[in-house]
Amino acid sequence: MTAIKVLIADDQTLMREGLKTIIDLEEDMEVVATAQDGQDAIEKVKMFEPNLILMDIKMPNMNGIDSLKKIKKRNPQMRIVILTTFAEDDYIIEGLASGADGFLLKDMNYDQLIHSIREAAVGQLMLPSVIASKLAQRLSKFNSVIENEINVDKLKKNGIHLSEREREVASLIVKGFSNRKIAGQLFISEGTVKNYISEIYSKLGVKDRAQAIVYLKELQLK
């Protein structure tokens, strides 16, 4: 039987060692390395070539999402499962968009953990019901944004031509969403959001977010 080679990346020593102890009890899996942050995880992947990574989100030096992106770019087939808590649901969309193979709640019991690792190792998307529910809520909000996007005719009357995506971003700007929340709502990165916002500012002839909001509201755009 070929063992599932696991890398655990978490900045909390107790979490790393606790997971390692549990996983190493199984005959069909082995923890080949542990990492204390995202950058360390990248280096350990090169050294130990695991099959699957259990990746914490909030870590110093480099967080789990950024580490996931870099590892997936070099190793697209690498299975990476995010270790998360209820308080970190803002990362759900970003994690999935970045190629995460699932999420595991840190407080899950022994049997759930082992079963989930086996399932993830063979390509099953691991999505606990509580996270699936949060994802559904985000999708519902996303659909609401699309339904209430900026009125194209009103823009054209003022000589402004925004693309469909720019209108979606502009709608969320008016609603007071931060760049991070816009990224989560539209399933894009914060960097991409910043690029869209710069283009919107240019087309509206404004210099900052406050001016953009005032301008759009004056046009009575939803």
Please name the amino acid found at residue 31: V
Please check the confidence at residue 1 and state whether its pLDDT lies above 70. no
pLDDT greater at residue 27 or residue 105: 27
Q: How far is CA 7 from the centre of its chain?
A: 20
Residue with tokens 């990476």: 80
Residues 80-95 as b or e (16 or more Cβ within 10 Å = b)? bbbbbeeebbebbbbb
Quote the pTM value: 0.62
Structural contact between residues 220 and 174, judged by C-beta atoms closer than 8 angstroms: no
The string of pLDDT tens digits covering residues 29-55 is 999 999 999 999 999 999 999 999 999
